[in-house]
Amino acid sequence: MKMLLMGNEAIARGAVEAGIHVATSYPGTPASEVFATLARYAPELGFYAEWSVNEKVAVELAAGAAYAGGRAIVSMKQMGLNVASDAVMSLAYIGVKGGLVLVVADDPGPHSSQTEQDTRLFARFAGLPVLDPSSPAEAYTMTKYAFDLSEELGLPVILRPTTRCCHACQDVEVGSLLPPRPVPGFTRSPDWVILPSLSARKHRWLVEQEERARLLFNESPFNTATLEGRTGVITGGVSYGYVVETMDQLGVRLSLLKIGTPYPLPQEKVVEFLAHLDQVLIVEEQEPVIEEQVIRLAWRQLIPCHISGKHDNFLPRTGEFNVDIVRSALARFLGMKSTPASVPAPPELPQRAPTLCAGCPHRGSFYAFKRAARGRDVIFAGDIGCYTLGAAPPLKALDTCLCMGASLGLAQGLARTEPQRRVVAFIGDSTFFHAGLPALANIAYHRAPVTIAVLDNGTTAMTGHQPHPGLALDLAAVARAWGITCVLEADPYNLEATVRAASRALAEPGPSLVLLRRSCPQLTASDRCCTVDPSLCTGCGLCLEELGCPAMSWEKDHVTIGPNCNGCGLCAQICPAGALREVRK
Amino acid sequence: MNIIIAGVGGQGIILASRALAEAALEAGLAVRTAETIGMAQREGAVVSHVRIGLPDYGPLIPRATADILLAFEPGEAARHLACLRKGGSAVVATSPVMPVSVSLGASAYDVDAVLRFLEGAVEHPYFLDAAALAREAGSIKALNMVMLGALSRLDLPVGEQNLLEAALKLLPPQTETVNRRAFALGRQALEGLEK
Ligand code: SF4
Ligand code: SF4
């Protein structure tokens, strides 16, 4: 049966056809739909599926399942692997019994990430085999295979799709769904208890497994070569499709080696391929993972093939590839002329950066805190989520953003170094549970003089509205139980009350916490909106210039409100002329 | 065949590309899409690439190779015009979506100049006030159905009915009447433009 599947859906489909017992994840673009799809299959097939509190817990939970001989899949974005890395690095030594597949999605560009880190490098660092799909259809096949490979090697296996595989759709031939088999169960053994003596032995084992994986990959159908003469290209991942199209565009046929298993490199395949060539261009997005291994191999085996790629600047290590980039590199490599088609230049186009939605409660939260901080020197530390967009004009409400949960840590460091300045850490509810809890313990224990503003919209909005523990667990109660006495709550749609809460929290000498509660309007459709009375609007532009709500724009000399207004009422609360009114839709 | 669908986050671009891809699958054709999912969906510039009958290529349409540019917003049409091949067609919704940067005076947007530019630069331009047609159909949310209806008037490897049914399957059933009307209005609008 053929289905139209997004890469992430294809991965999920492959996993359920492999008969998984457990699926875990923490949301992150571009990986989120892997688990979202698995969660839809779970009730029918009877496997366990959960959005975990963070990637580390997700990996540990899945590893537990694999210790018992179950098959498990964990999906995350590339930076999620950083959070889970403590578990993953040790797990490589301990190994698994049931198949464990870590889906780690990379985001060259980056489109929705803080970094462009390359998970294939991480795989090499951890000593784990990694599969690199070129398309959704291949991602599906690789996922199924990854479980068998994991069981054969006794190691977790990493599947590394990139954005253009995750968020690409393709017609995929699928098989039948498999309910999980009975698990053999956990058996006690000293091999599950990592101690230095075991580590020393298992490290040798891990290195041996690399050679075993390499032998398997030499025979793998994911590594395919076609020979067409003494000039060739080695490629992997989504770049494969770009290379094929480039050759068609340039009207050339070159020898082509497609690598689906970048680490460990299938050396025999590569040596055999290079032996036919005088020169080869290596085309891979992100870091030169294949390239460096090929150069090392060619040097060791004294293969007289000229190797080009990133090291001699044919292709960049940064950014995302496409046919146009690959075409100009390949043309240059072949000494051909490739003039990009000329297109007329358009008139000046407006910048269209992502913006907090109309009626986003974070707008009210930031605005209220900015008001409360007027006349004081307050630093606003930000975090990861929709609210990172609060850094954009006109709100300009964030002075820092680093990584998940860092607002709390950075705020403490800033406050300790400049005690005369107050620091506010803005953190979303999902991010708070993901990485903010240990930092909260630190603040409570060390009595750090900072204000925590929890932007509680009842969801993990940025990644597609996933649930999180905060829907059931009361973080304000935790803060109180840990001795933070100033714990306040406010509705960011109520400007006055929120400013009051913010002012109180900022005035506190010790730690304080404000829970800013209002659900994301993308989840709960509002029956209200605001309208402008043009006869009252003086055209002062205050609402627009202070709030930057995308529902508002100019119509000649007065402000007008579009159909995307969610009726948060914030603009009406600041209009000095009383020209804005909330009404039923 | 290569089709670029461009617009602003929240306009229903992903649904449009999925509907087209599902219809192609139904017709037994190989299909690839690339979509903008993530931060840009919050009012940012978004684009879907749809490639039909090109099984070995990646999902991104290279410069100057798109047969059709389906743009939900004039500025976004201009932004992606470089994708359109010589002799390609562009179907462009004329009503602009004003970004916050323009309201704040941080960037300029001369919509008439953009429309004039498109008129001159595209070999086969089709302009329609898709937002007005969507409202006429019953909801501004049906903008993507108006655009798909308009698209269905061009020479596509998938039939009009297949495209409509594929889209309806992806949408809530209670919106079916409005969506059918929107599709028909979009289709008619293009019929009116053809000479
Ligand atoms: S009420 Fe005002 S601020 Fe709130 S969404 Fe509508 S226009 Fe924007
Ligand atoms: S999705 Fe929700 S939380 Fe995110 S910007 Fe929009 S309204 Fe705000």
Q: For residue A357, which atom of ligand 2 is closest to its CA?
A: 6
Instruction: Tell me the per-residue pLDDT of B178-195, one tens digit each, with 9 for 90 and over.
Output: 999 999 999 999 987 864
Calculate helix-pair angle for B160-170, B13-26, nearest 10 degrees: 130
Is A559's pLDDT higher than 90? Answer: yes
Predicted local distance difference test score (pLDDT) of residue A375:
94
Q: Where a domain ends, among A201, A218, A235?
A: A218
Place of tokens 């973080």: A475
Out of A240, A327, A553, the one facing B98 most closely (by C-beta) is A553
**Do A243 and A212 belong to one domain?**
no
CB spacing of A135 vs B32 below 8 angstroms: yes
Q: Is A87 in the pocket of ligand 1 (CB under 6 A)?
A: no
**Do A503 and A535 belong to one domain?**
no
The helix/strand count (H/E) of chain A reads as: 20, 22
Q: Where a domain ends, among A492, A517, A542?
A: A517
Ligand that lies nearest to the alpha carbon of residue A429, given by its number in the listed order: 2
Q: Which residues of B touch A552 (CB under 8 A)?
A: 103
Q: How confident is the model at residue B124 (pLDDT cuts 50, 70, 90)?
A: very high
**Do A485 and A471 belong to one domain?**
yes
Is A15's pLDDT higher than 90? Answer: yes
In chain B, which among 92-131 make CB contacts under 8 A with chain A?
98-104, 106-110, 113-114, 117, 120-121
Q: For residue A528, which atom of ligand 1 is closest to its CA?
A: 1
Q: How confident is the model at residue A317 (pLDDT cuts 50, 70, 90)?
A: very high
**Do A319 and A391 belong to one domain?**
no
Half-sphere exposure of A71 (CA within 13 A, CB side): 24
Q: Is residue A508 part of a domain?
A: yes
A322–B contact, CB cutoff 8 A: yes
**Do A120 and A19 belong to one domain?**
yes
- The model carries a pTM of 0.96
Is B123's pLDDT higher than 80? Answer: yes
CATH number assigned to the domain comprising residue A535: 3.30.70.20
Predicted local distance difference test score (pLDDT) of residue B184:
98
Look at ligand 2, atom 8, and give the residue with the nearest C-alpha. A360
Q: Is residue A472 part of a domain?
A: yes
Nearest-angstrom CA–CA distance, A112 and A118: 15
Q: Is A390 in the pocket of ligand 2 (CB under 6 A)?
A: no
Q: How confident is the model at residue B58 (pLDDT cuts 50, 70, 90)?
A: very high
Q: How confident is the model at residue A381 (pLDDT cuts 50, 70, 90)?
A: very high
Q: Is residue A324 part of a domain?
A: yes
CATH number assigned to the domain comprising residue A462: 3.40.50.970
CB spacing of A168 vs B8 below 8 angstroms: no
**Do A35 and A124 belong to one domain?**
yes
**Do A313 and A180 belong to one domain?**
no
Is A341's pLDDT higher than 80? Answer: no
A278-314 core/surface letters (b: 16 or more CB in 10 A; e: else): eebbbbbbbbbbbbbbbeebbeeeebebebbbbeeeb
> What is the separation of C-alpha A394 from the centre of its chain, rounded to a whole number of angstroms?
27
Instruction: Tell me the per-residue pLDDT of B7-37, one tens digit each, with 9 for 90 and over.
Output: 999 899 999 999 999 999 999 999 999 999 9
Lowest mean pLDDT among A140-144, A177-181, A557-561: A177-181
User: Which residues 6+ apart lie within 8 Å of B134 measured at CB?
Assistant: B140, B141, B142, B143, B145, B146, B182
Which has the closest alpha carbon to B100: A523, A384, A548?
A548
Predicted local distance difference test score (pLDDT) of residue B40:
78
- Measured in angstroms, the CA of B146 and the nearest CA of chain A are apart by 17
User: In 10 A of CB A337, how many CB atoms?
Assistant: 8
Q: Is residue A561 part of a domain?
A: yes
Half-sphere exposure of B165 (CA within 13 A, CB side): 10
Mean pLDDT computed over every residue of chain B: 95
In chain A, which among 8-67 make CB contacts under 8 A with chain B?
29-30, 33
- Give CA separation, A156 vs A10, A36, A71, A294, A548, in Å: 20, 22, 11, 25, 47
Q: How confident is the model at residue A440 (pLDDT cuts 50, 70, 90)?
A: very high
d(CA A522, ligand 1 centre) in Å: 14
Q: Which residues of A touch B42 (CB under 8 A)?
A: 354-357, 386, 389
- Residue A21 belongs to what domain range? 2-218
Q: Which residues of B touch A6 (CB under 8 A)?
A: 35
Q: Where a domain ends, among A218, A235, A261?
A: A218
In chain A, which among 234-273 make CB contacts under 8 A with chain B?
238-242, 244-245, 249
**Do A439 and A396 belong to one domain?**
yes
Which has the closest alpha carbon to A484: A452, A459, A462?
A452
User: Which residues 6+ apart lie within 8 Å of A203 measured at CB?
Assistant: A93
The stretch A107-132 carries a mean pLDDT of 97
Is A92's pLDDT higher than 80? Answer: yes
Q: Is residue A351 part of a domain?
A: no
Q: How confident is the model at residue B41 (pLDDT cuts 50, 70, 90)?
A: confident
Is A395's pLDDT higher than 70? Answer: yes
Which has the closest alpha carbon to B58: A78, A134, A162?
A134
**Do A402 and A418 belong to one domain?**
yes
Predicted local distance difference test score (pLDDT) of residue A582:
87
**Do A144 and A252 belong to one domain?**
no
Nearest-angstrom CA–CA distance, A459 and A385: 11
Instruction: Tell me the per-residue pLDDT of A182-228, one tens digit each, with 9 for 90 and over.
Output: 999 999 999 999 999 999 999 999 999 999 999 999 999 999 999 99
**Do A311 and A372 belong to one domain?**
no
Half-sphere exposure of A218 (CA within 13 A, CB side): 10
Look at ligand 2, atom 6, and give the residue with the nearest C-alpha. A357
Instruction: Copy the structure tokens of residue A47.
Output: 């496997």
Q: How confident is the model at residue A339 (pLDDT cuts 50, 70, 90)?
A: confident
Find the radius of gyration of the CA atoms of chain B: 16
Which domains are assigned to chain B?
2-190 (3.40.920.10)
Mean pLDDT computed over every residue of chain A: 96
Q: Is residue A141 part of a domain?
A: yes
Which has the closest alpha carbon to A456: A519, A367, A546, A381?
A519
Instruction: Tell me the per-residue pLDDT of A516-527, one tens digit each, with 9 for 90 and over.
Output: 999 999 998 888
Q: Is residue A348 part of a domain?
A: no
**Do A72 and A149 belong to one domain?**
yes
A111–B contact, CB cutoff 8 A: yes
CATH number assigned to the domain comprising residue A288: 3.40.50.920
Lowest mean pLDDT among A315-319, A397-401, A482-486, B39-43: B39-43
Is A344's pLDDT higher than 90? Answer: no
3-state SS assignment for residue A308: strand
Percent of chain A at pLDDT > 90 equals: 95
Q: What is the dihedral of CA A142, A143, A145, A149, to 10 degrees?
A: 110
Q: How confident is the model at residue A180 (pLDDT cuts 50, 70, 90)?
A: confident
Domain count, chain A: 4
Q: Is residue A72 part of a domain?
A: yes
Nearest-angstrom CA–CA distance, A68 and A529: 54
Instruction: Tell me the per-residue pLDDT of A221-246, one tens digit each, with 9 for 90 and over.
Output: 999 999 999 999 999 999 999 999 99
CB spacing of A29 vs B39 below 8 angstroms: yes
Q: Is A81 in the pocket of ligand 1 (CB under 6 A)?
A: no
Q: How confident is the model at residue A149 (pLDDT cuts 50, 70, 90)?
A: very high
Q: Is A136 in the pocket of ligand 1 (CB under 6 A)?
A: no
Predicted local distance difference test score (pLDDT) of residue B43:
87
- Measured in angstroms, the CA of B167 and the nearest CA of chain A are apart by 14
